[in-house]
Amino acid sequence: MNLKRLLNDRIAAALEASLGEAAPAVVQSAARPEFGDYQANGVMGAAKRLKRNPREVAADVVARADLAGIAARCEIAGPGFLNVTLDDGFLATSLATSAPVEAAPEPETVVVDYSCPNLAKEMHVGHLRSTIIGDAMARVLEALGHTVIRQNHVGDWGTQFGMLLTFLDETGADSELLSDLETFYREAKKRFDADVDFADRSRRAVVGLQRGDPEIRRRWQRFIDISLSHCQEIYDRLGTTLRPEHVMAESAYNDDLDAVIADLDAAGLLEESQGARCVFLDEFKGKDGETLPLIVQKSDGGYLYATTDLAAVRYRARRLEADRVMYFTDARQALHFRQVFAVAGRAGFARDGMSLEHHPFGAMLGTDGKPFKTRAGEVVKLIQLLDEAEERALAEVTRRNPELPEAERREIARVIGIGAVKYADLSKNRTSDYVFDWDQMLSFDGNTAPYLLYAYSRIRSVFRRGEVDEDALTGDVLLAAPEEHTLAVTLLRLQETLESVAADGFPHLLCGYLYELAVQFMRFYEACPILTAEGDVRASRLLLCRRTAETLKTGLNLLGIETVERM
Partner RNA sequence: GCGCCCGUAGCUCAGCUGGAUAGAGCGUUGGCCUCCGGAGCCAAAGGUCAGAGGUUCGAAUCCUCUCGGGCGCGCCA
Q: By the 8 A CB rule, do 491 and 517 touch?
A: yes
Interface region with RNA, contact rule CB under 7 A, candidates 121-129, 130-138, 312-320, 445-453: 445-453
Taking alpha carbons only, the member of 191, 222, 220 closest to residue 206 is 220
C-beta closer to RNA: residue 94 or 251: 251
How buried is 352 (Cβ within 10 angstroms: 0-12 exposed, 13-18 middle, 19+ buried)?
exposed
The reply to whether 457 sits near RNA by the rule CB under 7 A is yes
C-beta closer to RNA: residue 28 or 97: 28
C-beta closer to RNA: residue 147 or 537: 537
The reply to whether 490 sits near RNA by the rule CB under 7 A is no
Strands (E), 206-310: 270-273, 276-285, 291-297
Q: Where in 413-442 is the site for RNA (CB under 7 A)?
A: 427-435, 437, 440
Interface region with RNA, contact rule CB under 7 A, candidates 24-32, 164-172, 314-322, 349-357: 24-32
The reply to whether 3 sits near RNA by the rule CB under 7 A is no
Q: Where in 289-308 is the site for RNA (CB under 7 A)?
A: 289-290, 292-293, 295, 298-300, 302, 304-305
Taking alpha carbons only, the member of 369, 368, 339 closest to residue 356 is 339
C-beta closer to RNA: residue 292 or 348: 292
Single residue of 124, 129, 150, 203 touching RNA by CB under 7 A:
203
Single residue of 9, 13, 29, 408 touching RNA by CB under 7 A:
29
CA–CA separation, 520 and 43 (whole Å)? 30
C-beta closer to RNA: residue 236 or 431: 431
Q: By the 8 A CB rule, do 141 and 117 touch?
A: no
Taking residue 345's Cβ as centre, other Cβ atoms within 10 Å add up to 15
Residue type, 403: E
- Write phi, then psi, for 112 (nearest 5 degrees): -110, 115
CA–CA separation, 159 and 172 (whole Å)? 20
Instruction: Give me the sign of the Cα torsion angle 24, 28, 31, 33.
Output: positive
> What is the smallest separation between the CB atom of 550 and RNA, expressed in angstroms?
17
Single residue of 3, 15, 35, 344 touching RNA by CB under 7 A:
35
The reply to whether 446 sits near RNA by the rule CB under 7 A is yes
Single residue of 252, 528, 550, 557 touching RNA by CB under 7 A:
528
> What is the smallest separation between the CB atom of 321 and RNA, expressed in angstroms?
25
Q: Which residues contact 489 (CB under 8 A, 6 or more apart)?
A: 3, 37, 86, 91
Taking alpha carbons only, the member of 450, 420, 421 closest to residue 518 is 450
Single residue of 530, 539, 556, 559 touching RNA by CB under 7 A:
530
> What is the smallest separation between the CB atom of 128 and RNA, expressed in angstroms?
14
> What is the smallest separation between the CB atom of 153 and RNA, expressed in angstroms?
8
Single residue of 100, 158, 208, 417 touching RNA by CB under 7 A:
158
CA–CA separation, 334 and 358 (whole Å)? 7
Q: Where in 392-411 is the site for RNA (CB under 7 A)?
A: 396-397, 400-401
In DSSP terms, 246 is beta-bridged to none
The reply to whether 221 sits near RNA by the rule CB under 7 A is no
Q: What is the largest CA-CA distance in the chain?
A: 85
The reply to whether 534 sits near RNA by the rule CB under 7 A is no
Per-residue contact track with RNA, 57 to 96, x per CB under 7 A? --------------------xxx-x-x-------------
Dihedral in degrees, nearest 10, Cα atoms 415, 421, 425, 426 = 0
C-beta closer to RNA: residue 173 or 522: 522
Q: Where in 318-377 is the site for RNA (CB under 7 A)?
A: 331-336, 362-363, 369
Taking residue 385's Cβ as centre, other Cβ atoms within 10 Å add up to 20
Single residue of 276, 281, 478, 537 touching RNA by CB under 7 A:
276
Q: By the 8 A CB rule, do 423 and 442 touch?
A: no
The reply to whether 275 sits near RNA by the rule CB under 7 A is yes
Q: Which residues contact 177 (CB under 8 A, 6 or more apart)?
A: 226
